[in-house]
Amino acid sequence: MAEPKENVLMEKIVSLCKRRGFVFQSSEIYGGINGFWDYGPLGAELKRNVKELWWNSMSRFRDDVVGLEATIIMAPQIWRASGHVDTFSDPMCDCLLTKKRFRADQIEPQSGVVYSYKGAKDSAAAKESGDGFSVLLAPGKPPESARKTAVQFYQSRGLQTVELIGETTEKVENTTRFNPENGAQLTDPRPFNLMLQTYVGPIQSDENIAYLRPETAQAIFAQFKNVHETSRQKVPFGIAQVGKAFRNEVTPRNFTFRSREFEQMELEFFIKPDEAVEAIHGSVAVPTGPGHPGEPQPNWGWQMWHQYWVEERVRFYEGIGLSRATLGFHIQTPEELAHYARATTDILFKFPFSKVDEQGEVKGDELEGIAARSDFDLSQHERHSGKAMGVFDEDLRTAWGKLAPEKQAELSQRYYNARLKYLTKTGVPEEKAKAEAKEDADGLAKGQYIPHVIEPSAGVDRLILALLANAFTETTSTDEKGKSEVRTVMKFHPRVAPVKVGVFPLLKNKPELVAKAKEVFQLLRGHVLAFYDETGAIGRRYARQDEAGTPFGVTIDFDTLGEKPELLNTVTVRHRDDGAQERIPISELLGWLLARVK
């Protein structure tokens, strides 16, 4: 149950986003379109800053990660290989009585007697319903309970005193057409396809169906071979991508949190299977405790890499102003994990709309998931495309030859078991699976394997929303006349703040001040995003920049012009969060700012 107070906070944030130009509803002049949002001038800058910081820290400033920019529409086979075509189209049924929704494939088969009705009438009100309805009567229950359920159904259709018409009964076994909780009839299964679909080419035929990608990651797997061959990278290395993804969400909710068009920042970091690490280094390093494990080491197994990326990502969030206290973590339980995933840690942010649990704690909602996905993805694409996705590892081949035969046999067996498990789970017939797993295990001995992957996958728009919620601060101040007013300050970290500095002449009607201020503005623009404002009183201009989240204000006054000779060519720099001011020479201003916004 969301607290009303928190809804109010969320409404204030949404309102400020519109008022100041962070986020607008898409297509607003036409009444909007559910699940789509636009970024206004400030939002566009904010988003650009976030994506650039991610790209820099995840790729440009690392030796072991390269970038990719793939298309949104790809060969539809990719989504069959990834499993999205199947898992994104679960047939759903609704209970005709309670409207509860079920996944058709998850309904327990039941047996019993079906009581069917052609309709019902209400003589008193002279009303009649011709809608058929059936109830499954579980063994051992009196027929009256089935009739009662049917009466409830017709009452929900507007009849008061229900007389059931045309009762028939039939014994059935293993049916999934009734609600297991109350026996009421379900609607026919209706497919729910959550991928947005289009046609490639002008003919709208089934052969031309293509999908707008529901995640950016698959392109990385599909282009793995090309990137590996052209980037001169060796495993372990990663491929980063930022881009739009699309999902036909059942219920877009919570402002931009769950949208139908959204942007992701994804890294697929490819690592050696543990068997290869062990063959090369004799043992596999595993985490010894919580916290960042330090610089990557060649003997790391998947668990070390997974922990490493979780901690790297937390550092990133801390670096843009989201402290650990504002974040939450969710380690997926074995039941929640996809069958191919070995571990997934979600990084959550405590949004104003996040639910409070039984202990009164706010857990938060997901910003990013860091998944250890084994070699599932590349294996799937290998099987579906028929193209080999393995890599050859010189170090592994050399090391393998030096291993004791028992060790070789042990590692070979482990790798065989892992491959067999994958192949069997994906439906490969047993004999064929065994043969292929044997082939894979033999390949390992020759230095070949399909890389495993650690996937930190973050939602840009969710992060923007987190930054907006985190920055939003209201203070009530009362002036000497007793008039109180609420002031809003967006306390963005200077690194992500859309505008870095406001430049103001103290007064507009003094040409010398205006000229000097414009000079300072020209000095800064191009290096940092600066905003010049000369209208209204200085306090008003500060307040406007506070709402935009501009961390610094520079004011040109008479001292800048030399009224006090010792202050000639210095300016007032005003800090957004506490209003503190300091005097800085114009010659040092740009360096001073750059040091704080980079």
- Residues near RNA, by CB under 7 A: 1-2, 7, 10-11, 14-15, 18-19, 25, 31-35, 84, 87-88, 90, 92, 94, 99-103, 192, 194, 214, 247, 249-255, 338, 353, 355, 485, 487-488, 506-509, 535-540, 542-544, 546-547, 555, 557-559, 563, 571-572, 574, 579-581
Q: Closest CB to RNA among 84 and 452?
A: 84
Instruction: Give the integer Cα–Cα distance in Å for 65 and 57.
Output: 10
Report the distance separating Cα 548 and Cα 139, nearest Å: 66
CB of 356 to RNA, least distance (A): 10
Least gap, CB of 333 to RNA (angstroms): 12
User: Which residues face 172 on adjacent strands?
Assistant: 112
A 10 A CB-CB count for 540 gives 11
Measured in whole angstroms, how far is the alpha carbon of residue 98 from the centre of its chain?
A: 32
Distance CA 118, CA 130 (A): 6
* Smallest distance from RNA to CB 508, Å: 4
Q: For the chain, how long is the longest CA-to-CA vector?
A: 103
Distance CA(305)–CA(130), nearest Å, equals 63
CA distances (Å), 475 to each of 116, 446, 482, 531, 546, in order? 64, 67, 15, 24, 12
User: Cβ of residue 268: shortest distance to RNA, in angstroms?
Assistant: 17
Q: In the complex, what is the shortest distance from the CB of residue 158 to RNA, in angstroms, rounded to a whole number?
A: 11
Euclidean distance between CA atoms 101 and 92, whole angstroms? 7
Please, which residue, 288 or 509, has the CB nearer to RNA? Answer: 509
Closest distance to RNA from the beta carbon of 149 (Å): 17
Nearer to RNA, 72 or 543 (CB): 543
End-to-end CA distance of the chain: 40
* Residue at 516: amino acid letter: K
Q: Of 113 and 584, which CB lies nearer to RNA in the complex structure?
A: 584
Cβ atoms of 100 and 226 closer than 8 Å: no
Judged on CB neighbours under 10 Å (0-12, 13-18, 19+), 486 is exposed
Note whether 48 and 62 are within 8 A (CB).
no
Closest CB 266 distance from RNA, rounded Å: 14
Q: For residues 355 and 434, which CB has a smaller minimum distance to RNA in the complex?
A: 355
Question: Which DSSP helix (H) or strand (E) runs through 84?
Answer: helix 84-87
Contact criterion met (CB below 8 Å) for 534 and 505? yes
For RNA, give the closer residue by CB, 167 or 563: 563
Measured in degrees and rounded to the nearest 5, phi and psi for residue 382 equal: -65, -45
Cβ–Cβ under 8 Å, residues 326 and 318? no
**At closest approach, how far in Å is the CB of 322 from RNA?**
21
Q: Which is nearer to RNA, 393 or 557 (CB)?
A: 557
Q: What is the DSSP letter of 89?
A: E
Q: Helices (H), strands (E): how many in the chain?
A: 17, 29
Whichever of 64 and 534 has its CB closer to RNA, that residue is 534
* Least distance to RNA, CB of residue 549, Å: 12
CB of 101 to RNA, least distance (A): 3
CB of 254 to RNA, least distance (A): 6
Using the minimum distance from each CB to RNA, give the nearer residue, 411 or 571: 571
As measured in angstroms, the least distance from the Cβ of 14 to RNA is 7
How many CA atoms within 13 Å lie on the side-chain side of 220? 27
Q: Which two tokens stand for residue 168?
A: 């028939």
Nearest CA to 508 out of 530, 533, 543 is that of 533
Residue closer to RNA (CB basis): 92 or 411: 92
What is 472-523 written as a DSSP string? EEEEEEE-TTS-EEEEEEE---TTT-S--EEEEES-TT-HHHHHHHHHHHHH
Closest to RNA by CB, 202 vs 539, is: 539
- Whichever of 18 and 127 has its CB closer to RNA, that residue is 18
Select 198 or 398, whichever has its Cβ closest to RNA. Answer: 198
Residue type, 243: G
* Residue of 468, 416, 344 whose CA lies nearest to 20: 468
Instruction: State the minimum distance, in angstroms, from the CB of residue 52 to RNA.
Output: 26
**Residue 449, Cβ density class (10 Å: 0-12 exposed, 13-18 middle, ≥19 buried):** buried
Task: In angstroms, give the least distance from the CB of 505 to RNA.
Answer: 9
For RNA, give the closer residue by CB, 292 or 564.
564
Q: Using CB atoms within 10 A of its CB, is residue 479 exposed (0-12), middle (13-18) or buried (19+)?
A: exposed
Residue 222 to residue 273: CA distance in whole angstroms: 20
